[in-house]
Structure 1
């Protein structure tokens, strides 16, 4: 994942935890180390896949497996990631408007220009087993005022 973070211009859209934090998570990684996801309790984090991974669509398969292991919620920038997550059964339940004050380190507004002029919303998504294989509807999810409220919406959806 660190290699991808240095080589992929879109890597700023995925948060990379430090090694000690990953040691506290359940990690699903391909045998070549080129694709994976992490489970942080019921939250799926750090999904990644290199283009040269020997296992095509590995990230999609791992996301589905992560739900079988208890992954119920996640959040991401409204770029290409919500499409990937919708396929695994995640539905948008809330969204938070972009704030320049919270832009990730290394964020390049030009690189992400196609996504709301480089300022994509954060989308909070929750797992719905009846929606596996689903499609993401851009703009779906009610706006919330802060990040914690978005997390609460995802947790609330999962509790039903």
Structure 2
């Protein structure tokens, strides 16, 4: 049995709008704070997408890297990933080891490289790309 995922509607927004929403999400959720980069590190030349309620979003860098995917609404992650990959051109990503690499494998990503975290004792950084 295949589970259907309802499509999600996201709109392209300026980097400052996305960065503000990500900043709020990182303050509201320790998990989001631990798994996303600081909003000040988001590249200006990426395309950023947000839901109408500004509680979920992601970016796609010029090189096709998925960046800063987050959601304060439980259950939106799968729809955001599918939209990023199938409609917005996301083809690679990096993440911290833990649950994320296995999660991203569901969408066709495979590990291409792994490097130790620059902070001793923290999870490795895992680089992934679509097969």
Q: Equivalent residue for 1:82?
A: 101
RMSD: 2.2
SS in 2 for 1:31: coil
* Correspondence 1:125 to 2:128: yes
Q: Which runs of 5+ in 1 are unaligned?
A: 102-117, 129-160
Q: Which runs of 5+ in 2 are unaligned?
A: 1-21
Note if contact 2:43-2:61 (Cα within 8 Å) is conserved in structure 1: no
1:100 to 1:38, Cα distance in 2 relative to 1, 3 A: same
Note if contact 2:112-2:128 (Cα within 8 Å) is conserved in structure 1: yes
Q: How many residues align?
A: 107
Higher relative contact order structure (alpha carbons within 8 Å, sequence separation ≥ 6): 1
Q: Equivalent residue for 1:7?
A: 28
Shift of the alpha carbon at 1:15? 0.6
From the CA coordinates, give the structure whose radius of gyration is larger: 1
Q: Equivalent residue for 1:27?
A: 48
1:80 to 1:20, Cα distance in 2 relative to 1, 3 A: closer
